[in-house]
């Protein structure tokens, strides 16, 4: 799914905006995040180091804002008829995931973000950390390390393991 979405966005943006901006925008999206950005970068024949830095920044940029404001945003949206059920479902899913994070605290969050599977990553990790009432500074640092690990895994899969040694 990530590969397909990344390909569609590359096709949409290609020859319209610079490849670096395409990769940055894709990395900002929930679901796609750094993983989708690195796949797009490979499709655009970008240098791995440059792509990795852009994707990492793009993935991490929303994290502090999610940690700081998501509960207020959810509270506001739950008062809107259209959003109420969507937000409640998101909260239920995130609270289930936050139980594991609460149990193992930092290690649970790190593993949750670092393993590049659908439904994990910086966005969801930030949501889970916020609902688990983790300190913003601690959660941001743990998510940053998790995104770094996930990025190295995806870079190895997308660009090949030997490319990681040239970072």
Q: How much is the pLDDT for 166? A: 67
- Say yes or no to pLDDT of 165 above 80: no
Q: How much is the pLDDT for 18? A: 94
**HEC profile of 53-103:** HHHHHHHHCCHHHHHHHHHHHHHHHHCCHHHHHHHHHHHHHHHHHHHHHHH
Helix (H, G, I), strand (E, B) or coil at 136: helix
Domain ranges of the chain: 2-60, 63-152
Which residue has tokens 């180091």?
49
Q: What is the pLDDT of residues 5-19, one digit of tens each?
A: 888 888 888 889 999
Average pLDDT in the chain = 88
Phi-psi region of 120 (alpha: psi -120 to 50; beta: other; left: phi over 0): beta
Q: What is the pLDDT of residues 26-72, one digit of tens each?
A: 999 988 999 999 999 999 999 999 999 999 999 999 999 999 998 88
The structure's pTM equals 0.85
Residue 81 CB coordination number (10 Å)? 7
- Average pLDDT in the 103-132 region? 88
């Amino acid at each position: 799914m990530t590969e397909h979405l990344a390909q569609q966005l590359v096709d949409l943006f290609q020859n319209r905006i610079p490849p670096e901006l395409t990769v940055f925008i894709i990395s900002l999206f929930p679901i796609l995040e750094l993983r989708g950005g690195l796949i797009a970068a490979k499709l655009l024949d970008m240098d791995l180091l440059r792509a990795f830095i852009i994707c990492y920044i793009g993935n991490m940029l929303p994290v502090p804002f999610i940690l700081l404001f998501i509960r207020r945003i959810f509270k506001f949206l739950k008062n809107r008829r259209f959003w109420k059920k969507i937000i409640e479902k998101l909260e239920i899913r995130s609270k289930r995931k936050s139980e594991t994070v609460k149990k193992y605290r930092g290690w649970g969050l790190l593993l949750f973000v670092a393993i590049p599977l659908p439904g994990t990553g910086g966005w969801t990790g930030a949501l889970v950390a916020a609902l688990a009432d983790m300190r913003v500074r601690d959660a941001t640092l743990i998510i940053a390390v998790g995104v770094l690990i996930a990025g190295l895994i995806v870079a190895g899969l997308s660009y090949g393991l030997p490319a990681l040694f040239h970072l």
